[in-house]
Amino acid sequence: MTALPRPRLIVLGLDGLPLSLARALAPQLPNVSRLLPCARPIEAELPELSPVNWTSFFTASGPGEHGVHGFTVLDPQTYALRIAGFGDVRAPTIFERLGSAGLVSRVLNLPNMAPAAPLRGMLVAGFVAESLEAAVFPPFLLGPLKAAGYRVEGDTTRGSADPAYLLAQLRLSLAGRRAALGLLWPDLAWDFFVCVLTETDRLFHFLFPAMQDAAHPWHAACLAFLREWDQLVGEVLDRFDALPGPKRLVAFADHGFCGLETEVDLNRVLAQAGFLELARPARDEWDAGVMGPGTRAFALDPGRIVLHRRGRFARGRVAEAEAPGLLAQLRELLLGLTWQGRKVMKQVLDGRALYGCENAPDLICVPERGLDLKARFDRAEVFGHFGRYGMHTPDDVFFADTGTGSGDDDGAVARLRDTGRLVLRHFGLGETRQNTRGGLIL
């Protein structure tokens, strides 16, 4: 009996790519241009961060279900702040659903998948992974990846001060993605392939103005790098074109991007207004242990406002009866915040209503374009520049689907969680189910 052909699906992740920029640079990026006829904008999940949105993709659910609300997780007893990881994800992944149905996935550079967990297929997790060893499953992939010089991330610590170094690091990581693609793709013993290119996000954080302004001194160098990135996009598209049918390719970003005019530190705002008590000088920006017992509210990245509730935090003082009035005061403070005569906030949303769960941040702040929200514990000023010149946006998110009009129409995709649901529908698996894995993530 002849086996039925695999209805393969490929996801190409273009981290941080705004649709407007892709269209503006189309003459210089011929391979991205191949996607533009079936491209349109979608919305990011809030907050518009990579771990929130890539997790929304690979769980086919929103932050209220999967539990990842930002880059950081605060321990409510010790006040230690750490980076979120795959161990914090509370919902089943689409890879688990596919594996249970006997389908094989190959996954390259997908953020928030480390430490790598077993799946039916192969995984090279992306940012944030402590090491390549922590990013790889099955372990036999480690040798070939190391031999190819693969790195999870380039070193971007000198990004703002040394653009030439940044571009060199991005080229090294891009070369590693190309080598890994050559390892994971060729045998075609898979049903679902994910390849995420994160280099655009890193470039835009430090050099987004150079992408917009042809007169910028780094415009030509950045465009030269993007042409190399576009060549790898083309390799994926060419490999897709060579596949036997049936097949489908979906390409999308996790958020948009725009120029950054100033950072806005919300913990400094709260401290100046008397909501956040700092008991001692902070050791660094991560030192949440500075919060004293007089703290009534604090911020976590980028715009999560959390009440210091009694019974939820070791030093919490806010009673439940106080919460509504306190939230009204905080919303008034934040909506009234201005910079150079401009309102800082576009919206201040009720976190529990937004996410549909009790363990959500109390308020979610959405800034106006150009005003990048932060939540540090060592800043002396509310406003300032700290080496970054590009910021995420929840709108203008690139999305393209070669299956548009095929019966599973892309019109059902409005935001990032819907991309994961598209995958499940493609393979006839329906919607995902909520399944709590772990504890509280703020």
Position 333, amino acid: L
- Residue 38 phi/psi, 5° resolution? -115, 25
At 441, is the pLDDT very low, low, confident or very high (cuts 50, 70, 90)?
very low
Q: How many residues does the chain have?
A: 442
pLDDT of 431? 59
What per-residue confidence (pLDDT) applies to 267?
A: 98
pLDDT top residue among 409 and 21? 21
Q: What is the pTM of this model?
A: 0.94
Reported as a single tens digit per residue, the pLDDT across 216-260 is 999 999 999 999 999 999 999 999 999 999 999 999 999 999 999
| pLDDT over 50 at 282, yes or no | yes
Residue 42: pLDDT over 90: yes
pLDDT at 353: 96
Q: Report whether pLDDT(438) > 90.
A: no
Binned at pLDDT 50, 70 and 90, residue 336 comes out as: very high
Contact yes or no for 194/13 (Cβ under 8 A): yes
Q: Give the Å distances, CA to CA, from 187 to 119, 191, 412.
A: 18, 11, 32
pLDDT tens-digit map of 359-407 = 899 999 999 999 999 999 999 999 999 999 999 999 999 999 998 654 4
Domains, the chain, ordered by start: 8-71+85-256+393-426 (3.40.720.10), 262-384 (no CATH)
Q: So what's the pLDDT on residue 158?
A: 85
Contact 434, 62 (CB under 8 A): no
Is 439 a residue whose pLDDT tops 50? no
How much is the CA Rg of the chain, to the nearest whole Å?
22
For range 279-289, the mean pLDDT: 96
Q: How many CB atoms lie within 10 A of CB 165?
A: 15
Q: How does residue 409 score in pLDDT terms, banded at 50, 70 and 90?
A: low
Residue 159 pLDDT: 82
Residues 54-111: tens digit of each pLDDT: 999 999 999 999 999 999 999 999 999 999 999 999 999 999 999 999 999 999 999 9
Assess contact for 430 and 424: CB atoms under 8 A. yes
Task: Using the predicted structure, report yes or no on whether residue 343 has a pLDDT greater than 80.
Answer: yes
pLDDT tier at 440, thresholds 50, 70, 90: very low
Which pLDDT belongs to residue 4?
57
What is the rounded distance in angstroms from the CA atom of residue 14 to the CA atom of residue 109? Answer: 11
> Which residues in 141-246 belong to E strands, given as ranges?
192-197
d(CA 133, CA 124): 10
Is residue 432 pLDDT above 50, yes or no?
A: no
Per-residue tokens: 7: 């209805």
CB distance 384 to 263 below 8 Å:
yes
Summarised one tens digit per residue, pLDDT across range 148-174 is 999 999 888 888 889 999 999 999 999
